[in-house]
């Protein structure tokens, strides 16, 4: 998995995926603490989470965190991550996304996932991009379906079921 010191910025029709600003990290921690159980497997260590977000915009050991920016304001976060107990093969990236509740159901999640996936295939050497979601998260499942991802399995992790979606390099 490539590491880069250059900040990643991905521009789309409405959104820009960009590094988080230092002033946004507190808000991201608050969003993580208050996230509903459907979207978060477990609360990460706060210091490690903040340190990771301080490197936002740079790929580091398979991790890349970006703000989802709409007109200069962060409306959420998208990331690649490496599951601690399930390493991924070379060329495989796991992604996660979180939008502020007021910004859901407006197509922003679909645009962000499409932009990020395309960037991973084009610039990060991805061959496979995967994501997990709660089986009851119909909006996220619809995003994956609309973008051509396939539901490949349901796994048990963190004492609950997760629907696993995947897309391979075109």
pLDDT at 168: 96
Q: Is 132 helix (H, G, I), strand (E, B) or coil?
A: strand
Per-residue pLDDT reduced to its tens digit, 38-82: 556 566 677 888 888 888 999 988 889 999 999 999 999 999 988
Q: Is 114 helix (H, G, I), strand (E, B) or coil?
A: helix
CATH number for the domain whose boundaries are 10-168: 3.40.630.30
Closest CA to 56 of 12, 15, 17: 17
Helix (H) or strand (E) holding 35: none
Residue spans of the domains in the chain: they are 10-168
pLDDT at 1: 44
Q: What is the DSSP string of 65-91?
A: EEEEEETTEEEEEEEEE--TTSPPPTT
Cα–Cα distance, 160 to 16 (Å, whole number): 33
Residues of the chain scoring pLDDT < 50: 1
Number of H helices, E strands in the chain: 4, 8
pLDDT at 2: 54
69, 84 Cβ separation under 8 angstroms: no
pLDDT at 157: 76
Note the helical H segments in the chain. 25-34, 46-54, 108-123, 138-146
pLDDT at 27: 80
pLDDT at 35: 62
Q: Tabulate helix, strand, coil % of the chain (nearest 5).
A: 30, 30, 40
């Amino acid at each position: 998995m490539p590491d880069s010191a250059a900040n990643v910025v991905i521009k789309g029709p409405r959104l820009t995926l960009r590094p988080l600003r230092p002033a946004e990290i507190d808000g991201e921690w608050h969003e993580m603490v208050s996230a509903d159980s459907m979207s978060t497997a477990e609360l990460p260590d706060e210091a490690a989470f903040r340190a990771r977000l301080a490197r936002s915009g740079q790929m580091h050991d398979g991790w890349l965190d970006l703000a989802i920016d709409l007109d200069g304001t962060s409306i959420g976060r998208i990331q690649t991550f490496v599951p601690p107990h399930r390493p991924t093969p070379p060329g495989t990236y796991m992604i996660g996304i979180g939008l502020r509740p007021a910004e859901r159901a407006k197509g922003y999640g679909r645009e962000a996932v499409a932009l990020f996936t395309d960037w991973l295939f084009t610039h990060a050497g991805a061959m496979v991009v995967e994501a997990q979601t709660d089986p009851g998260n119909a909006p996220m499942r619809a995003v994956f379906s609309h973008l051509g991802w396939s539901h490949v399995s349901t796994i048990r992790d963190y004492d609950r079921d997760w629907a696993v979606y995947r897309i391979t390099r075109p």
